[in-house]
């Protein structure tokens, strides 16, 4: 079995943070029911699209899946329910009564406007774990501010640490402001489910994007820096040590990190600079002479290929690697060996698409964590209404004619 088998989770999320959280839960074996509006969220309308016969730029047909839901919808069942209609809310409330958890990432107040906030749903199912991901949380002076990855990176202080001294504050190149909260939300939800199983009641799990990035930012000794002076942005280096950073080679770039005096001694000998070893004989002196050391390392690396540099540095026990282009992972032998990426599939096609998605980055010795392909919009609507809620065909047809539910 998979670790979360037997749990039913309602996924009311959109865009990145919530769908990412629920993908992890689905890959771990939970029955995740993704509840969509009649048209799906905005990501369903962003090309490219993948259908039973392959990928195309659009327009999207009824059996096509856009790339984002194709990736983050793996392992989930997809139903269409109009939560703005009385009949749709009634159907949804029946699902809540038979579920273990719910995840949503609307702005504070949206679920209350729908009449589906935690207080309402707790009364329907006291054992429900309700997980809410927002930009700034459900309380505090920023509560009602709109939030997106870039803005939360800025407010958290992460951007002030990212970039080179002579350039502007820079965002992290991937959406950490969305994806990190999704990870924390999954952790909070399964923890609350464990507490529910012991104590018998669910609870509200409140995860804010800002809180999640503050947790990353304050892994750094910010309070100490305030005493001794905040360091300026250091690009790819680190003011606490040297050499650390990226260095040019004859055919690209490599990254390296020096940890410990023994490795530094071996590196100084490797690059032929015993004079630096004499003058920079501890971490403090290396930091003081970092510019000179960086220049010496760069003079050595740029006369060799990246493969030669990485091989030589690995031989002396230094952490070093190629700076790869973003798409290189598909052909990286370690990534391939670990199965860290997988080809995305359409549920009605025997052949994988040309697109890739990350596998769950967790391995277990007694569980197969590979999720099923994503479903088309509303693919499981009838099956969920029939199997979970015991509704008959006539009632399902009636709800569909009213617009309360959609597609199959």
Taking only the tens place, the pLDDT of each residue in 166-210 is 999 999 999 999 999 999 999 999 999 999 999 999 999 999 999
Q: In what order do the strands lie in the sheet with 8-11?
A: 204-208, 129-134, 101-104, 8-11, 31-36, 76-81, 405-406
pLDDT at 239 over 90: no
Q: Does domain 8-216+340-406 have CATH number 3.40.50.10540?
A: yes
> Quick one: pLDDT band at residue 241, thresholds 50, 70, 90?
confident
Structural fold of domain 244-324: formyl-coa transferase, domain 3 (3.30.1540)
pLDDT at 218: 85
**Which structure tokens are listed for 338?**
């670990």
> Which residues of the chain form CATH 3.30.1540.10?
244-324
Average pLDDT score over residue span 230-249: 87
pLDDT over 90 (residue 225) = no
Contact between residue 58 and residue 67 where contact means Cβ atoms under 8 Å apart: no
Neighbours of 177 (CB within 10 A): 28
pLDDT digits (tens, 9 = 90+) for 109-133: 999 999 999 999 999 999 999 999 9
CA distances in angstroms from 216 to 18, 156, 157, 212, 229, listed in the order given:
19, 9, 10, 7, 20
In the predicted model, what is the mean pLDDT of residues 16-44? 97
Mean pLDDT of all residues in 275-287: 91
CA angle 187, 2, 178 (to 5 degrees): 30
Per the document, the length of the chain is 408
User: pTM value?
Assistant: 0.93
Average pLDDT over residues 372-399: 97
Averaged pLDDT score across all residues of the chain: 95
Q: How confident is the model at residue 408 (pLDDT cuts 50, 70, 90)?
A: low
Question: Quick check: 314 pLDDT over 80?
Answer: yes
- pLDDT over 70 for what percent of the chain? 100
User: What whole-number distance in Å separates Cα of residue 403 and Cα of residue 388?
Assistant: 20
Contact, 57 vs 351, CB < 8 A?
Answer: no
Q: Which regions of the chain carry the CATH code 3.40.50.10540?
A: 8-216+340-406
Residues forming the active site: 178
The token duo for 134 is 């927002």
d(CA 312, CA 3): 43
Q: Residue 66 — very low, low, confident or very high, per pLDDT cuts 50/70/90? A: very high
């Amino acid at each position: 079995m998979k670790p979360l088998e037997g749990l039913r989770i309602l996924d009311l999320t959109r865009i990145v943070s919530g769908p990412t959280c629920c993908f992890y839960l689905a890959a771990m074996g939970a029955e995740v029911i993704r509840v969509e509006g009649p048209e799906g969220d905005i990501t369903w309308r962003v090309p490219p699209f993948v259908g039973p016969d392959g990928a195309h730029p659009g327009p999207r047909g009824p059996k096509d899946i856009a790339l984002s839901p194709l990736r983050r919808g793996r392992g989930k069942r997809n139903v269409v329910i109009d939560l703005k209609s009385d009949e749709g809310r009634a159907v949804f409330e029946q699902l809540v009564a038979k579920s273990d958890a719910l995840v949503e990432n609307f702005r504070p107040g949206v679920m209350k406007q729908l009449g589906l906030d935690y207080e309402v749903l707790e009364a329907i199912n006291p054992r429900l774990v309700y997980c809410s991901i927002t930009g700034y949380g459900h309380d505090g002076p920023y509560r009602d501010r709109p939030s997106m990855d870039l803005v939360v990176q800025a407010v958290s202080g992460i951007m002030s640490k990212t970039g080179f001294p002579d350039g502007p504050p820079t965002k992290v190149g991937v959406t950490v402001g969305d994806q990190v909260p999704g990870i924390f939300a999954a952790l909070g939800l399964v923890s609350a489910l464990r507490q529910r199983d012991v104590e018998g009641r669910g609870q509200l799990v409140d995860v804010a994007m800002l809180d999640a990035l503050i947790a990353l930012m304050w892994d750094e000794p910010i309070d100490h820096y305030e005493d001794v002076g905040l360091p300026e942005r250091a690009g790819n280096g680190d003011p606490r040590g040297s050499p650390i950073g990226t260095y040019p080679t004859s055919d690209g770039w490599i990254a390296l990190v020096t940890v410990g005096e023994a490795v530094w001694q071996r590196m100084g000998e490797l690059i032929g600079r015993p004079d630096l070893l004499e003058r920079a004989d501890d971490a403090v002196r290396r930091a003081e002479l970092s510019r000179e050391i960086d220049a010496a390392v760069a003079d050595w690396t740029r006369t060799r290929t990246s493969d030669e540099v990485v091989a030589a540095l690995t031989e002396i026990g230094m952490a070093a690697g190629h700076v790869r282009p973003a798409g290189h992972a598909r052909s990286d032998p370690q990534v391939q060996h670990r199965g860290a990426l997988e080809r995305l599939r359409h549920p009605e096609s025997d052949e994988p698409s040309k697109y890739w998605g990350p596998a769950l980055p967790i391995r277990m010795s007694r569980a197969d964590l590979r999720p099923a392909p994503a479903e088309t919009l509303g693919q499981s609507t009838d099956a969920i209404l029939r199997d979970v809620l015991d509704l008959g065909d006539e009632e399902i047809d009636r709800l569909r004619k009213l617009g309360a539910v959609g597609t199959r």
